[in-house]
A and B are shown apart, each in its own frame.
Chain A
Amino acid sequence: MIENIELEKCTGCGICDVVCPADVIHMEPQPVATEIKGLRQTRLLPVIKFREHCITCFSCEIFCPEHIVDVHPSVKNRPRPW
C-alpha cells in the first residue's frame, strides 16, 4: 500500500496520478510556502486521496521521475476465504 510521497522534492509533474490504476492519487492545489507574509500561493501536488483503495501495484513508485514515492509491499485488508 502507498505509504508516502516526499512532497519537498516533488516537481508536481503528475505522473503518479496519471499512472495509478486505482484513482488513489489526485493532483490538487496545495498551499506552498512563500517569502512574503500574507501572500497565499498554491501549486498542484499529489495527494493520497483514497489510500484504502491502493492495489500495491508500485506504478507510482516505478514511474515517478524523482523516485520519491514509497509503496510498502504488504497488502492490507486482504480478504480471507473463511
Chain B
Amino acid sequence: MDQLDGNLIDTDVLVVGGGSGGLMAALSAKRHGPPGTRVTLVDSWLIGRTGHTAFSNAWTIVALPGDDIDGILHEIVAGNDGIADQELVRQSLIDSHARLKDFEAMGMHFGRDEAGRYKRRPTRGLDLARVLYPEGGGLEFAWKQRLALEAEGVQLIDRLFITGLMRGASGDRIIGAVGINSRTGEFNVIKARSTIVATNAITFRSGFVRDITGTGTLLAYRAGATLRNAEFSYVRPGTPKFYFEGITFAIQEGASWVNAKGESFMQSYEPEWGDEADVPRIARAMAMENRKGNTPLYLDMSAIPEQLREYFIQSKVRWMDNFFRKLGDEAKTDMFGKTPYYALNQMTKMGIRTGADCRSDVPGLLSAGLAQAGCANHFAGFHIGLCVGNGWIAGRSAVEDLDTAPQPSLDAAEVRALHAETHQPLNEQGKAESDRILRDLQAVMFAYDIGILKREDRLQNALERVSTLSDEFKTIAAPHTHELVRMKETEAMLLAARFILGASLYRTESRLSHFREDHDQRDDNNWLVWVDLAEGGNGPAFSKTPIPTPYCSVVLPRRKPSRLAARQSVAGV
C-alpha cells in the first residue's frame, strides 16, 4: 500500500455519521465497552453542527415513569400501518427515560413548568405519546453530545466523507471504511472490528437542511447489506419561498389547511384526524386537491390569536429565530396564511435491514439513526426518539461483537480498488454538472403522480427516465473535491430513486405514504410484510419478509385522538 498517500486509522468501533443516531451509538459503545475500547466517530462535516439533528427542534418522544409504554407502542405501530419493528420501538421507549437522564447529565435542559414538571406536548398523528423539548433545539442537543463524547475519550474526526466499506482479506465481514477529507480530498483508510452506519436516509435535496443527504445506506447495499422500506417516503408540506418548521405547533393551536376556494379540506380525506393527521396523509390530500384543480393551498392561521403567533416566532431554535427576525413583517403576513403550500418529498424511508439488535445481515456491519429501517413513519419527535433508541442498542451490539470479531486484515487490492473508485470522477476539466442531473431527477421523483399518487405505468416510465439520467451521470466529471462529494451524493440519489420506484411497483397495495391508485386498498393478508431489496446480480432483487407482531398481534385501526374535539373547538371547525 506504500504508493497510496493518506492516513490509516485503527479502531475497535467505527461510527459513520454524527447525528442523533451516530452520537448515541458512539456514547453507547464507549459506555458498554471495557476500558480502553477505541471508539471513532466520523462525519463529513463538523460533528454536532451538521446533519438533520443539529438543525432540528430536537423534540423527542420520551416515556416517563408511569406512561403507558404499550399504549404508545400500539399507536406508533398503528400509525405505521404495521410497518414497524415492534421490538426495537418498544425497547427505545423503555430506554428513553434513562437516555433523558444521560442528556441532563451532559448539561441539557428540558422545558419544565413552575412546579418542576417536564413540559410535554402531544405530537401530530399520535395520542398518548408526549414530546419533550431541549432548550436550544438541535444545535445544543448535538453539540452537548459532542462535548460529552470528547470527555469520554471517543475519537472524533470531522470532515471525513466515507466513500466505501471494506470487506478485507477474509471477505466475510465488514472491517471498516475508506473515505476522503471533504475539503482536501485526502484519502483515509479506517480499520475497525465493528462498523455502525448512521448516515441518515437519502434525501433529494428538496430544501433547507434536507439538502444534507446520507450515502451510507447505499454503501451498505454495495457491501452486501439488504435495504428495506424503499416504497415509503417522507413528503412534507412546504412553501416555495422559505422553510417553516413549526406546522405541528401551528395546527395544534388551531391552524387549518384550506384550498383555493377557502374550504378546509383535511376533514374530507381524514375524517378522524382532520388537520392533525400526520404528514403522509396531509401530503396525499394535497395531491388530491391539486388534481381537482383546488390549488393553491394555504395554511390558514387566522384562528390562532395574535399573541400566539408571536410565540411561534419567538419560541424557535436559534436558526429559526434569525430566520423570523429577518423576514420581519413578511413573516407575519406571508407565513401566517398568504403563502401557498405544496407537498415536497423530503426523504426516502429506505434504510438498512437489521434485527432489533441493530445488526445487519453482514457480519461486522450495524446501523443506527434513520439509516436503520426501524419504522416507515416516524412522527414529529419519534425521528429522534428512535435514533436515540437504536443508537444505544447499536453501540451495545457492536461492543458485544468485539469478543468474537477477528483482527481486521486489510486487502491491498480492495483498498486500491476503493481508492480508484473514489477518485474516478475527478477531472480538472470537468464542469460540475451533478446539479443539473439532480434537477432532472427531482422533476421525475417529485411529480405528484409519481411520488404520491402512484400507478404502474407511470412508475415504469419514471424508471426509464431515471435509467437515462444514470447513463448521463456516468459521463460527467468533478473538477474539485466539493463537486466530487456532491457527485457521490447524487449517485446515491439516482440509485435510491431506482429502488424507490422498484419497491413501489413491487408492493401492489396501498399503505401509509405508499398510495397506489391501481391497488388502492390496504391488504393485510398479503402485505403486512417488509419489502426488502438486495443486490441480485443484475440490479436489486425484491422480496417479502413477514413482520413479527410480538406485542400488537393485530394492527387495529388507529384510534381517534381524544384531544381532537378540544382542538376543533379552539379552531372553530
Contacts and interface: CB of A to CB of B under 8 A. Distances in A.
A55 to B, nearest CB: 4
Contacts of A56: 208, 243, 323
A78 B45 contact: no
Given A55-B211, A61-B322, A62-B319, A82 B448 contact: yes
B49 A79 contact: no
A20 B132 CA distance: 28
Given A19-B46, A62-B319, A74 B242 contact: yes
B495 interface: no
Given A52-B435, A81-B451, A74 B241 contact: yes
Counting chain B residues whose Cβ lies within 8 A of the other chain, the interface size class is 35 or more
A52 to B, nearest CB: 7
Contacts of B243: 56, 75
B323 A58 contact: yes
B485 A73 contact: no
Nearest to B485: A23
Interface stretch (B267-275, B416-424, B439-447): B439-447
B570 interface: no
Contacts of A68: none
B54 to A, nearest CB: 8
Contacts of A57: 55, 208-209, 319
B208 A55 contact: yes
Nearest to B210: A55
A12 interface: no
A18 interface: yes
Residues of A in contact with B, size category: 20 to 34
A81 B342 contact: yes
Q: Which of A22, A23, A52 has the most CB of B within 10 A?
A: A23
Contacts of A79: 204-207, 344, 439, 442-443, 446
Given A75-B242, A79-B442, A80-B446, A21 B45 contact: yes
B256 interface: no
Contacts of B183: 23, 26
A50 B485 CA distance: 13
Interface string B313-338: 00000110011101100000000000
A53 interface: yes
B240 interface: yes
B504 to A, nearest CB: 16
Contacts of B290: 82
B259 to A, nearest CB: 16
B458 interface: no
Nearest to A59: B49
Nearest to B286: A81
Given A19-B49, A23-B183, A81-B446, A73 B209 contact: no
Given A79-B439, A80-B240, A82-B447, A71 B322 contact: yes
Interface string B182-201: 11000000000000000000
B405 interface: no
Contacts of A23: 45, 182-183, 482, 485
Interface in A3-51: 18-23, 26, 49-50
B326 A55 contact: no
Best-surrounded residue of A20, A21, A55 (most CB of chain B within 10 A):
A21
B50 A21 contact: yes
Nearest to B183: A23
A80 to B, nearest CB: 6
B55 A75 contact: no
B89 interface: no
B277 interface: no
Contact of A72 (B139, B209, B212, B326): B326
Contact of B318 (A49, A58, A78): A58
Given A22-B211, A73-B326, A82-B447, A59 B206 contact: no
Interface of A: 18-23, 26, 49-50, 52-53, 55-59, 61-62, 71-75, 78-82
Give 6 nearest A-B pairs by CB, closest first: A21-B50, A58-B319, A55-B211, A81-B446, A79-B442, A58-B322
Given A21-B209, A71-B322, A75-B207, 4 more contacts: A55-B208, A75-B242, A81-B343, A82-B446
